[in-house]
Structure formats: C-alpha cells, structure tokens
Amino acid sequence: MVLWNMVFRYIPTSLKELQLCISHIIDIAVGAPYDGPEGRGAVYVFHGSKKGIMEKPSQVIQAEDIFSTISTFGFSLAGGMDLDENEYPDLVVGAYEADTAVYLRYK
C-alpha cells in the first residue's frame, strides 16, 4: 500500500458527523468516486455553522490534484482520528481496488 500525505485546510470525516470539541460545529466530507474533470473521483468538504451545514462545499479535492493515475478517489473515507497529534481530526481517502490511500491532514 502506498500512503500519500497532503495538507488540507480543514477536513474531518465522511458522512459520519464529526463534532469538534473546540467549536461544537459539525463539518462533513463527502466522497464522489466518479466525479471530477476526468471522472476519477473527488472529495467535497462542507463546513458547518451554527445554522447547519453550508450548501456549497468549502473545498473540493479532486483525484487529478492528488495522484496522476488514481481512479475512484473518494470511494471510501475514514476520519475522526487525530493521526498527527495536532488536536484536529485527519482524513484518509481510499479508492476502489487501488493499492493507494491518501492521508489528508489538518495543518
């Protein structure tokens, strides 16, 4: 398995809601494995507010921006754990039948 490391603005977890102890605002990340300019997948990040989840994504991470050959990027998402111990949750994005996972961390 190849593990790529990329810094992102703020991404918590997939359709599992993640409540941050700091702000008590819920953000979500949604995988779209057949989306993007070449249909190779994307992850959409939606920030929460006191009124709920925003309608438009605050960030879109596309497969083409991460890895030149990965497809079905966003097929699986795992998050809610602080892998780099910076007190913010990180996200790992997988692709169907791929030997690659992408580790996205908050910085």
Amino acid sitting at position 58: S
Q: How does strand 59-62 pair with strand 52-53? A: unpaired
Q: What is the pLDDT of residues 39-58, one digit of tens each?
A: 999 999 888 888 888 889 98
Is 80 exceeded by the pLDDT of residue 36?
yes
| pLDDT exceeds 80 at position 5 | no
CA max distance for the chain? 40
Torsion over CA of 25, 31, 35 and 37, rounded to 10 degrees? 70
- The arithmetic mean of pLDDT across residues 71-75, rounded, is 90
Integer Cα distance of 99 and 102 in angstroms: 10
Quick check: 23 pLDDT over 70?
no
- What is d(CA 7, CA 107) in angstroms, rounded to the nearest whole number? 6
Query: For the chain, what is the domain count?
Result: 1
Q: What's the rounded mean pLDDT across residues 88-104? A: 85
Q: Would you say the pTM of this structure is higher than 0.85?
A: no
For 23-78, where are the alpha helices, taking DSSP H only?
Answer: 63-66
102 pLDDT higher than 80: yes
Q: How far apart are CA 65 and CA 49, in angstroms?
A: 27
Tokens of 8: 């992102």
Structural domain for 68, as ranges:
2-106
